[in-house]
Structure 1
């Protein structure tokens, strides 16, 4: 449309995913918005608006802008507008059915080069490190004097600069309400990755709290809710990052998110270089053995099927309030027992149906383990059945 390219809120060729990423980036708040061309219906438009949900946190809502036969636009048939500018002016005055009024156009930065120094780059001076979280390289900090953030810095000797920046680049493409959100990066030494601050810490910390137990008493159908959240994430992104232990998974006050945690995870490259079983065992003993599939322990073979195994282990943590898998066993004992075909017994209060799903994940032969798409389907069926059963119980 002639003249529309000059409007600060008009992003013609922006994809839905990029719209989410940009609206959730620093500089935007509830009510930030943009209008883009529809991906599914060329010639039509979509209004994308940042909102703040009490349960999910910051989210982005999308509204179809429909074309009228004789010209003009509308979101709801109750009211039509001659132009997109009129539409924006109206919803800037009142929400009128939208999630919020339109406050300001989406803010973005001019891209820089090289590839990692893009709109995510921020000056180091905008960050203040307050307190180290745990014993690692992550700090609680403040961004721009008001936003609480988590700041991960590259510790010397832990991983290469390129791998650290690759992790940040991966997170740029993972903007979702159930995921820890990347806010920014500092690519000059010392390198920082700046992410959303999770008040409840890691998932395992939250699982051990009274709040989690009270949550389960109020919502008994939500066994394994974090697993459900992660299957939704898998469906959305078709991507799995190694290291899905509950210590690498963070808890929002009322929801869940998966955090990339490459520093905890063994890589096939580091293990495949082992020439003997003994050398290989020495290397993997320093890895999260209790979450690792047998073929990855023994041969350094990591695949989507070894991730399925790890996912099954994670499910046990969600129903045992963060109990470490294989309680009472050392890592060498776990390895020996797995070689004999041992599997963890069903945890107390774990439904038989959910335990059956865990055992599917722990098939000895990787090819016999289910796909994540299958797991998503059966878990959603399980949660639906649990919810219906709970709702039909007498009060």
Structure 2
């Protein structure tokens, strides 16, 4: 009976608590700076309120976007949209005024929009994120004291967490959500998360902290050069301008470039493309275009009408992970930041694992680094087509030090041989880019590893990280962990390193 009355009359919630007491009182000041993930284990959060019907939703632009095709709409931050067709990464939408009057209709990138009056549309809402990721965002020098964000905890059922920059640290407050209320402190309850945030921008939290400006966030990149290249990615070379060279290897030279004189891209020019199976190359590119993940490099386009072939990808400003680790910026990173980079790589590889895709050449040189130390796996999928014909004619170029024994002896590449390579990559990360097996030649490495030799733990490497390396280097491929497990292990290890 009591439960029915409370459900029917939520406005009597406070009165009911005075009469009967609150059986689930979490106490006040749900703040925690320490612990497994820095969050208090409160009663499980109630499900998020059901959203309005999709057709009635109004979306808000979070960033400025300049159209790249006549069918696309340009817009500014705050512009309103009614979405007509939700399909893939590009939506058809109407730009509207506050009164609903339609201004124009066209194509827009969906990652630039959020539901208007919902939590998703707030600049301070960062979606699902763990404590360490929140700290990395908030401790950026661009954020002032009081900068904050709201996130959904990665822990099932824990719900929303308010993370606030407080001098030289970040504090995390569990937001309790009942059927009708959101609150951090029991005496101050709000009907929405937006109301809660606005209240604490005007009033202090129990710790004396007050919310300032939302945490700065980086503008996303459109998932393609334009909505047209999402389905037609063969482009003429004339649309691209080569700038400075970024790198050169056995298989390709990489340049910074511009598409149509305005969009930054990376242009990989393949050497020895006469060795390629052209039909296979195009089939593989079609598969790769469908692989989308936050820790995989986006393939934008190819130019194959004439030699040499171009592969067009997103540009990562800090270059490849190996050179970054060996440079002054990488050398200054602490172990927690390094492990975070390894965790990102494991996350991207876990997605490839789910998609039944194999990398075949996973190494620090094939991971790219962007702003805020975002890491993305590159060169996946094309290793078999672009690199292996060259390996056949130039055996000395085979990356023995990264290859699993079965890949060298029998040509057996699998996601488990990628796991072996990930163990070597983890060694590279922990040592700030040291060469694996420094005292051995390529051929010596294969002989020694086949006899059971494994690299010793690097200096100052925690046991838990070396244990992960050794799991990756199990002689039996089936005994090696999968990438999903590696991602979980590394995610947990970051908390133990703080």
TM-score bin (small chain): 0.5 to 0.7
CA displacement, residues 128-185 of structure 1 (integer Å, 9 cap, x when unaligned) = 0123333333222112222321112343324232343344334322333333233333
Aligned counterpart, 1:144: 260
Mapped partners of 2:215, 2:338: distance in 1 = 34
Matches within 5 A, 1:79-98: none
Aligned twin of 1:205: 323
- Write the distance in 2 (CA, Å) between the matches of 1:197 and 1:356: 34
What is the alpha-carbon distance in structure 2 between the residues aligned to residue 179 and residue 49 of structure 1? 27
SS at match of 2:313: strand
Check whether the contact 2:91–2:110 (CA below 8 A) recurs between aligned residues: no
Tell me which of 440, 453, 459 is aligned to 1:348.
459
Instruction: Say whether 1:377 aligns with 2:488.
Output: yes
Matched, 1:361 2:472: yes
Q: Which residue of 1 aligns with 2:113?
A: 33
* Counterpart secondary structure, 1:231: helix
CA distance in 2, matches of 1:354, 1:266: 33
1:119 CA displacement: 4.3
> Shift of the alpha carbon at 1:362?
0.7
Residue from 3, 12, 19 that aligns with 2:89: 19
Q: How does 1:74-153 map to 2 (within 5 A)?
A: 118-135=231-248, 136-153=252-269
- Contact persistence 2:362–2:422 (CA under 8 A): yes
Q: Does 1:337 align with 2:448?
A: yes
- Give the drift of 1:265: 5.7
Partner residue in 2 for 1:322 = 433
Asked if structure 2 preserves the Cα contact closer than 8 Å seen for 1:21 and 1:172, the reply is no
Q: Distance in 2 between matches of 1:107 and 1:137?
A: 22
* In the alignment, structure 1 residue 176 sits paired with structure 2 residue 249: no
The equivalent of 1:64 in structure 2 is none
Indicate if the aligned counterparts of 2:428 and 2:434 stay in contact, CA closer than 8 A: yes
- Aligned pair 1:289/2:408, yes or no? no
Cα offset, 1:224, TM superposition: 2.9
Q: Can you list the C-alpha shifts for 1:286-312, whole angstroms capped at 9, x where unaligned? A: 311100001111111112211111111
Change (3 A) 1:11 1:99: farther
Q: Are the structure 2 counterparts of residues 181 and 21 from structure 1 closer, same or farther at C-alpha, using a change threshold of 3 Å?
A: farther
> Quick one: distance in 1 between partners of 2:216 and 2:462?
38
Q: Indicate how the Cα distance of structure 1 residues 110 and 348 shifts in structure 2: closer, same or farther if over 3 A, else same.
A: closer
Q: Distance in 2 between matches of 1:8 and 1:30?
A: 11
Is contact 1:29-1:50 (8 Å) kept? no
Aligned residues: 321
Shift of 1:236: 4.0
2:310 counterpart residue number? 192
Q: In structure 2, do the counterparts of structure 1 residues 137 and 173 end up closer, same or farther at CA, with 3 Å as the change threshold?
A: same
Cα separation, partners in 2 of 1:201 and 1:107, compared to 1, 3 Å = closer
The alpha-carbon deviation at position 233 of structure 1 amounts to 1.8
Q: Which residues of structure 2 form unaligned runs of 5+? A: 1-52, 57-79, 94-106, 127-135, 138-191, 196-213
Per-residue CA shift, 1:241-272, capped at 9, x if unaligned?
A: 2211111111113321111255656999979x
TM, length-normalised to structure 1: 0.66
Counterpart contact for 1:9–1:106, Cα < 8 Å: no
Is 2:300–2:313's contact at 8 Å kept on the other side of the alignment? yes
Alpha carbons 1:201, 1:250 under 8 Å: kept:
yes
Could you tell me how far apart the structure 2 residues matched to 1:198 and 1:212 are?
Answer: 15
User: Are 2:341 and 1:226 equivalent residues in the alignment?
Assistant: yes
For 2:122 and 2:361, how far apart are their aligned partners in 1? 33
**1:98-135 deviations in whole A, cap 9, x for unaligned?**
999xxxx9999676xxxx98244444332101233333
The structural deviation recorded for 1:351 is 0.7
Distance verdict in 2 for CA 1:108–1:134, change over 3 Å: closer
* Aligned equivalent of 1:257: 376
**CA gap 1:176/1:281 in 2 versus in 1, 3 angstroms:** closer
Following the alignment from structure 1 to structure 2, what is the Cα–Cα distance between the partners of residues 98 and 298? 51
Which residue is equivalent to 2:420? Answer: 309
Q: CA deviation at 1:369?
A: 1.3
Query: Partners in 2 of 1:11 and 1:375 — Cα distance?
Result: 41
